């Protein structure tokens, strides 16, 4: 029986895939800090007021509502960063409040890692966010998905 070596190979490649996935999330988090957090980070502004852009947890919730698998989520976020297009927004209220995001010419591969981190990682939540989200999205207002 040659089953055992096959099993070892299968388990090893599974392990490598998982290690790669968590490496991507780790790199994505660092890239997010460099490229996006000035506007989307928890400490942009004071809590939920005086912000420059929605906190990334809000972006995550809105995007998960429409793009529930990682591949389509990553593509939608990377397309947005390359070329924000008002006809594709999932956050119309944010555009009204902040004006549309400017295109960011970062390497696509880096933005895809950032998007994987947003999809899979534990993104931070600013103080007061849950209440804000409840207030904004009750009575069918807005499309945000209430995930916790
Ligand atoms: C200079 C400030 C700024 C930076 C830097 C920035 N954004 Fe944004 N972003 C905004 C603003 C403002 C909005 C809300 C208005 C809008 O939706 O266009 C936004 C909205 C978004 C949205 C939701 C778009 C929608 O309307 O559906 C995504 C996704 C997004 N940003 C991703 C990113 C990522 C990823 C990065 C880092 C690569 C990034 N942003 C960097 C300002 C910024």
Q: Which of 131, 133, 134, 115 is nearest to 123 (CA)?
A: 115
Say yes or no to pLDDT of 80 above 70: yes
Average pLDDT for 46-70: 89
Say yes or no to pLDDT of 2 above 90: no
* All domains of the chain in start order, with CATH: 3-140 (1.10.760)
The answer to whether 129 and 55 are in contact (CB under 8 A) is yes
Would you say the pTM of this structure is higher than 0.85? Answer: yes
pLDDT digits (tens, 9 = 90+) for 43-55: 776 656 678 999 9
pLDDT value, residue 148: 41
The residue to mutate among 29, 39, 41, 103, having the most atoms of ligand 1 within 8 angstroms of its beta carbon, is: 39
- Residues with Cβ < 8 Å from 127, sequence gap 6 or more? 47, 48
CA–centroid distance, residue 12 to ligand 1 (Å): 38
Write phi, then psi, for 46 (nearest 5 degrees): -110, 110
pLDDT digits (tens, 9 = 90+) for 88-103: 999 999 999 999 999 9
CA distance 6 to 60: 39
């Amino acid at each position: 029986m040659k089953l055992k070596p096959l099993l070892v190979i299968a388990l090893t490649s599974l392990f490598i895939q998982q290690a790669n996935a968590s490496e991507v999330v780790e790199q994505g988090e660092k890239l997010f800090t460099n490229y996006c957090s000035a506007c989307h980070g928890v400490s942009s502004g004071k809590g939920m007021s005086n912000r420059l852009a929605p906190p990334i947890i809000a972006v995550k919730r809105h995007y998960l509502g429409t793009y529930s698998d990682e591949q389509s989520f990553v593509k939608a976020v990377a397309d947005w960063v390359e070329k924000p297009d008002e006809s594709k927004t999932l956050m119309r209220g944010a555009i009204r409040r902040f004006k549309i995001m400017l295109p960011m010419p970062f390497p696509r591969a880096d933005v895809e890692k950032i998007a994987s981190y947003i999809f899979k990682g534990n993104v931070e939540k600013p103080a007061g966010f849950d209440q804000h989200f409840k207030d904004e999205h009750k009575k069918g207002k807005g499309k945000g998905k209430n995930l916790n």
